[in-house]
Structure 1
Amino acid sequence: MKKFGILVVILATFLAAKSFITDIEYGKMLYQNPRGIGCDKCHGKSGFGGVIAIYKEFNKTSGEKYDANLTTPNIINLTPQEFADGIMQSRGVMPSYFLTADEIVAIYKYLNKEKLNDK
């Protein structure tokens, strides 16, 4: 009977709890590993973007090689709609992640936690 009482207390606590983790914590987890490769691998730890690769490109017309690079944009200053559109309409080297709307919002909240706290 004592075990049943403990189980009831644990169950009641579980049901009363709003969430085990916050949206920002969930967003951080998703940003670091949404579906295999994390957003942070290209966009950086804080979403400011940067250079992914430096390579030589060949100009067929002139026959010369020149330095080129592949960069990712800063995703911090995007509106929520621009952010969601960028994820949902992946193109180029940006992979498709098939995130839900709630997952996209959680990632946005994580990346913009300082801005959102100022409001």
Structure 2
Amino acid sequence: MVDHLWTVPAMPIMAFAVIVLFTRFSEKLSKTISIFAIAYGFVYSTITLIQTLGEPSGFVIDKGFDWLVLGNFTLQIGMYVDGLTVVMLMVVTIVALLVHIYSIGYMKGDPRTSRYFAF
């Protein structure tokens, strides 16, 4: 389950692309896609937190891969996840979800609601 943790930041990016390209004039669909993307991140980070609580020796994931190799120069890209990372992920996703839910009422009637929820 933790192997797919990269999807937490990827979902809002994909939601942005879908809203901007396909649902620009559909206010309700833009809200739904945006809330779903943030809620997905919250649910997935909650699952990850539960998994970390069960680890007796701490929880560290260090995954990376070679992104660019030029002769002796290697540029790696990866992800480091530990207990603090998971707690901060929970805080950020719950705040983002609450802001998005609050924004549904706050932005009601605004002509640029789709643009707001895209960002």
TM-score w.r.t. the length of structure 2 is 0.26
Higher helix share: 2
Task: Specify which structure has the bigger relative contact order, considering alpha-carbon pairs within 8 angstroms and separated by 6 or more residues.
Answer: 2
The structure that has the greater radius of gyration is 1
TM-score w.r.t. the length of structure 1 is 0.26
